[in-house]
Amino acid sequence: MPVLWDRQAATIVNNESADIIVILNQALNEFATQPTVDLYPEPLRATIDDWNERIYATVNNGVYRCGFAQTQAAYDQACAELFATLDSIEVTLTHQRYLCGDAITLADVRLFTTLFRFDAVYYSLFKCNRRRIQDYAALSRYLRDIYHRPGVAATCDVEAVKRDYYGNLFPLNPGGIIPAGPDLEYLDPKPES
C-alpha cells in the first residue's frame, strides 16, 4: 500500500495512491525529475475525475468485486460492469492515444496498474476471463505504450505480481500454486508513436 509519510510530524499524510499522485504532482513538483509532466492539468481535471471514478468502481475495484464475489449475481454484475468499461475504453482509445487526449494523465496511471496485472492475475485467479487485455487491439497498444515509457517497465515485475496474488490469496488459490504463464510477449514490441 502506498503511504506518503511526513518525517517531521511523524505521521501519515495520505495512503490513497490517486491522492498521492496529485500531491506529488502539485505540491512537490520542484523535486520531480520531469517537472514539466503534469498528470492532473487544470483544463482536463473534470474529464480525469470522471474517468477515475468510473475506472475505480468498475475496473480497479471491479476485478476485486469479481474475484471475491460471494454470489453468482454479484459476480455477474461486477463482471458485466468491468467489461462494459473495458469495451468503452477500447472505443475511446481507437480515436486517441490516452484516455483524455494526447497526453498521459492521472487517469491513465490509475488504469495502467490494473491493466498490467490483468492477463497475469485477474483474468484467471479473479475470474475476469471474458477477454484478456491482449485480445483488445487499442487497449493492448495503450498498455504497451505506457509500459515502454521511460522508467515504467523497470517497475513492472510480473513474476512478483503472480507470487503475491497467487501465493497470498489462500481463499482463491488454496494450493498456493503459481502458474507458469501467461505469455506476456505482446508487451515487448515497442509501441508506434
DSSP string, 82-144: HHHHHHHHHHHHTTSSBTTBSS--HHHHHHHHHHHHIIIIITTTT---S--GGGSHHHHHHHH
Q: What was the pLDDT predicted at 190? A: 61
The C-alpha cell of 34 is what?
A: 520531469
pLDDT confidence tier of residue 191, bands split at 50, 70 and 90: low
137-158: average pLDDT = 95
Class of residue 109 by CB neighbours under 10 A (exposed 0-12, middle 13-18, buried 19+) = middle
Q: Tell me the average pLDDT of the chain.
A: 93
The region of weakest confidence among 27-41, 127-141, 147-161 is 27-41
Same domain, 181 and 86: yes
CA distances from 178 to 162, 163, 169, 175, 182 (A): 7, 6, 11, 9, 11
Question: Which residue in 130, 105, 107, 126 sits closest to 117, CA to CA?
Answer: 126
Same domain, 27 and 48: no
Q: How far is 54 from 56, CA to CA, in rounded Å?
A: 6
Q: What was the pLDDT predicted at 122? A: 98
Counting the structural domains of the chain, the total is 2
| pLDDT over 90 at 35, yes or no | no
Q: What is the CATH number of the domain that holds 167?
A: 1.20.1050.10
| pLDDT over 70 at 58, yes or no | yes
Same domain, 86 and 154: yes
| pLDDT over 70 at 192, yes or no | no
pLDDT confidence tier of residue 28, bands split at 50, 70 and 90: confident
Same domain, 64 and 115: yes
Q: What was the pLDDT predicted at 183? A: 87
**Cα 177 from chain centre:** 24
47: containing domain: 41-187
Same domain, 134 and 92: yes
Q: What was the pLDDT predicted at 37? A: 84
The C-alpha cell of 118 is what?
A: 490483468
Pair 82, 90: CB distance under 8 Å: no
69-97: average pLDDT = 98
pLDDT confidence tier of residue 1, bands split at 50, 70 and 90: low
| Residue 160 parent element (H or E) | helix 158-168
DSSP letter, residue 9: T
- State pLDDT tens for residues 87-123: 999 999 999 999 999 999 999 999 999 999 999 999 9
Residue with cell 515497442: 190
Same domain, 101 and 179: yes
pTM for this model (two decimals): 0.88
Question: Hey, what amino acid is at 2?
Answer: P
Same domain, 45 and 105: yes
The region of weakest confidence among 50-59, 112-121, 146-155, 182-191 is 182-191
Same domain, 55 and 136: yes
